[in-house]
Structure 1
């Protein structure tokens, strides 16, 4: 598996937008698929946020994605955020999400951020195993979620 910048795979933007819309659309139902494509367009870069990442199998098949953003749906005073981590169902349980989260932390270190945040309705234990700590509980569109933080080791 390799993880690349989304900017290096513009042909996969529609796939990533569709993943985001299907998996996370309930968190912000006001966003259309077109809105998500526009948002992803802003993440087509390597040296600033927002930044998109895509995981690929050896044969080039897209396995999953993640984004780094300055702000998200909750806690506007905090940032940056690991956002929209998604793995195709047939590739779950193989470490793709963990690899994406680790790469995102590395990108934050490279860009000089001392900490990284996320919120998750369902995967607190996964992120805890990766060194994240729970700092708050919140609701997003009536969905319970935990807010987590990870301190970044600069490289």
Structure 2
């Protein structure tokens, strides 16, 4: 399995956009259109935010993760953020997510950051068991409870 920048794999932009649209846009009721998601992923970089990584094996995209400067407006003091971690269901349990997270931490460290943050509504146990430190629970503009975590980039 290889982890690469989506910006190096432009042929995967539509596939990544589809995964994220189905998992994070439709399910959350966001009004964002699919075309907007494609446009976003068409503009990701490898050395400044937003950054998107993809897990690849034999040309197949197994999953993705992004790095945003901020992923929670009410906590703009925290930077940067791991966002939109997604592994296709048929590849779950194979360490794809862990490899994407490890590469994300490496990228953030190379960019000069000592910490990485994330928000989750329903995967707190996943991150706790992988060494992330719980910081707080907040409510967003939709009044959803969001757990905020951080990890040291060492």
Q: What TM-score results when the alignment is normalised by the length of structure 2?
A: 0.90
- Structure 1 partner of 2:32: 31
Measured on the aligned residues, the alpha-carbon RMSD in Å equals 1.5
Residues 38-81 of structure 1: CA distance to partner in whole angstroms, max 9, x if unpaired?
Answer: 221221x2221211100012x11100000011011442221100
Q: Distance in 2 between matches of 1:88 and 1:137?
A: 28
Q: Does 1:5 align with 2:5?
A: yes
Residues 87-136 of structure 1: CA distance to partner in whole angstroms, max 9, x if unpaired?
Answer: 00101111111111111001001110111100112222221222211111
- How many residue pairs match? The answer is 151
- SS of 1:134's partner is strand
Q: Is the 8 A contact 2:72 2:119 kept in 1?
A: no
Q: CA deviation at 1:2?
A: 1.0
- SS of 1:27's partner is coil
Q: Which moved more, 1:127-136 or 1:83-92?
A: 127-136
Cα distance change, pair 63–117 in 1 and its aligned pair in 2 (3 A): same
| Structure 2: runs of 5+ lacking an equivalent | none
Q: CA deviation at 1:30?
A: 2.1
Cα distance change, pair 73–103 in 1 and its aligned pair in 2 (3 A): same
Q: Any residues of structure 2 matched to 1:121-140 within 5 Å, and which? A: 121-140=121-140
- Structure 2 partner of 1:63: 62
Q: CA deviation at 1:5?
A: 0.6
- SS of 1:150's partner is strand
- SS of 1:34's partner is helix
Q: Distance in 1 between matches of 2:135 and 2:42?
A: 31
Q: CA deviation at 1:143?
A: 3.7
Q: CA deviation at 1:28?
A: 5.9
| Structure 1: runs of 5+ lacking an equivalent | none
Q: What TM-score results when the alignment is normalised by the length of structure 1?
A: 0.90
